[in-house]
Amino acid sequence: MLTDTEVRIKGMKALTEAMGPVEAERFVSLILREPFDYTKWQRDLWADASVEEVSRAAMRRRRASRAAPRKPLGPARAH
């Protein structure tokens, strides 16, 4: 299990890679500023998909992430 810090780092990295740094910061600001019901959002996000469709999409994404080369999370440290 990842620590809270690791989750934050990976989450910001994913947002930044997907949206760019400006939009990622904007997303975080919106989440902090506006009330956000994650459970409702997830329910609405997958409302038109069956359990099987969601499962297949998750498995495809997992396979793709395992095939992709892993990059270090932060700046390289000198020893």
Query: Coil, helix or strand for 19?
Result: helix
Q: What's the CA gap between 12 and 25, in Å, rounded? A: 9
Question: pLDDT per residue over 43-75, tens digit each?
Answer: 888 888 898 998 998 899 888 887 766 665 555
Examine the domain organization and report whether 9 and 23 are in the same domain.
Answer: yes
Q: pTM of this prediction? A: 0.47
Question: pLDDT per residue over 4-36, tens digit each?
Answer: 999 999 999 999 999 999 999 999 998 888 887
Element (H, E) at 7: helix 4-19
Examine the domain organization and report whether 52 and 22 are in the same domain.
Answer: no
Cβ(16)–Cβ(24) below 8 Å:
yes
Residue 79 has pLDDT above 50, yes or no: no
Examine the domain organization and report whether 26 and 54 are in the same domain.
Answer: no
pLDDT of residue 11: 94
pLDDT of residue 71: 60
Is the residue at 2 inside a domain? yes
